[in-house]
Amino acid sequence: MTIARIVVTAAAVNGTLVALASRVWTAMSAAPPRMRVWVVAMLVLDAVVLWGIFERRAPVFGRIVSRATPRTPAIAVTFDDGPTEPYTAQILDVLRAHEARATFFVLGARAEAAPEVVRRAAAEGHEIANHGWDHEALPLHTPSYIRGTIGRTSALVAHLTGVRPRLFRAPFGWRNPWVGAAARREGCETVAWSVGVYDTDRPGADAIARRAIDGLRDGMILLLHDGRSLDPAPDASQVVAALPAILAAARQRGFRLLTLSALLAESE
């Protein structure tokens, strides 16, 4: 439902902007110079706002972290949209075999449905972070809804693990002026990612591994998924299959595999 709403909204906005631009272009030719300046300024402002909403690294609505500068070479591997069984448990098995730590940005609804694997991840030294309750696109919602979805998820994670999340990542990476403020009120820093490999498209384990390995850089925040929004039957098997090669390549290149909070703590 969320994707459908986004597509419909984007199509409506695009159609409206095209029609408006046509009218503005016609009107500007006959407008006095001062009015033309104001029209151009408004169009630029609109463009900046849209950039701030849809570009995950845009600082328009406040500081956003998408990369780190650790003391010595290190990266953070992160997983969004889970937990989803059996895939999250399989990912934990791979991480344990490679003595790696990761950060799981959980959806509250999924964590509520699979509490044991959340507890296991925390017990094994991984970080449990906040991805909202149900993967709703936050720019479509009010400030009270935004704070509610973050707060509800943080409360559940704290109940399951004894530790309240310190990091929040917006669904799709989309933000508006209220997202950062709501996250801060709930004790979370808002973060994005450096490299995404589009693994939810299921391009194959080899493609996922190759894209991740090609993007390996010091301080990188890698985005993977152990779920797919609230898809009732997500399949993260390709991520599970690709993960050993990604971790092995990172180790071979001398990168430590840290939780995102640990990586950011070194950067401070």
* pLDDT tens digit sequence for 121-137: 999 999 999 999 999 99
Q: Which of 65-74, 81-90, 115-124, 207-216 has the lowest mean pLDDT?
A: 65-74
Q: Which residues contact 229 (CB under 8 A, 6 or more apart)?
A: 2, 3, 81, 107, 135, 171
Residue type present at position 136: E
Q: Residue 59 has what pLDDT?
A: 73
Verify that 252 and 188 share a domain, yes or no. Answer: yes
Query: Sorting pLDDT into bands at 50, 70 and 90, what band is 73?
Result: very high
In this structure, the answer to whether residues 96 and 224 fall within a common structural domain is yes
Q: Would you say residue 210 lies in a domain? A: yes
**Structural domain includes residue 59:** no
- The three-class DSSP label of residue 26 is helix
User: Do residue 15 and residue 95 come from a single domain?
Assistant: no
End-to-end Cα distance, the chain: 40
**With bands split at pLDDT 50, 70 and 90, how would you rate the model's confidence at 3?**
very low
Residue 64 lies in a domain: no
What are the tens digits of pLDDT across the range 201-226? 999 999 999 999 999 999 999 999 99
Structural domain range at position 41: 2-54
Strand ranges in the chain using DSSP code E only, listed in sequence order: 74-80, 103-106, 127-130, 167-168, 189-190, 195-196, 221-225, 256-258
Domains of the chain: total: 2
Determine, yes or no, domain membership for 67. Answer: no
Q: Looking at the domain assignment, is residue 148 inside a domain? A: yes
Instruction: Determine, yes or no, domain membership for 230.
Output: yes
Q: Are residues 141 and 242 in the same domain?
A: yes
Residue 226 and residue 99 share a domain: yes
Q: What CA–CA distances, in Å, run from 7 to 4, 14, 176, 218?
A: 5, 10, 18, 36
**Binning pLDDT at 50, 70 and 90, where does residue 149 land?**
very high
How many of the other CB atoms lie within 10 Å of CB of 228? 20
- Report the alpha-carbon distance of residue 215 to residue 182 in Å, rounded: 31
Two structure tokens written together for 245? 């090669």
Q: Does the active-site annotation cover 46?
A: no
Say whether both 42 and 102 belong to one domain: no
- Rounded mean pLDDT, 146-172: 97
Q: Using 50, 70 and 90 to split pLDDT, how confident is the model at 140?
A: confident
The tens digit of pLDDT for each residue in 28-68 reads 566 666 655 555 555 555 565 554 565 567 675 677 888 99
Helix (H, G, I), strand (E, B) or coil at 128: strand
Q: How confident is the model at residue 2 (pLDDT cuts 50, 70, 90)?
A: very low
Q: Which of 80, 81, 199, 226 is catalytic?
A: 80
Tokens of 83: 């937990």
The question of whether 80 is a catalytic residue gets the answer yes
Whether residues 25 and 124 fall in one domain: no
146 and 178 both lie in a single domain: yes
Catalytic residue among 131, 199, 225, 226: 225
Residue 185 has pLDDT above 50, yes or no: yes
Per-residue model confidence (pLDDT) at position 24: 59
How much is the average pLDDT of 181-202? 96
Of residues 268 and 264, more confidence is placed in 264
Average pLDDT, the chain: 87
- Is residue 65 one of the residues assigned to a domain? no
Same domain, 199 and 257: yes
Residue 60 domain-assigned? no
Q: Does one domain contain both 43 and 80?
A: no
Q: Alpha carbon of 89 to those of 76, 85, 233, 247: distances in Å?
A: 19, 6, 16, 17
- In terms of domains, do 45 and 154 share one? no
Query: 40 and 105 in one domain?
Result: no
pLDDT in tens, 240-253: 999 999 999 999 99
Rounded distance, CA 149 to CA 131, Å? 9
The two structure tokens encoding residue 155: 């409360």
Assess whether the previous peptide bond of 177 is cis (omega < 30° from 0).
no
CATH code: domain of residue 110:
3.20.20.370
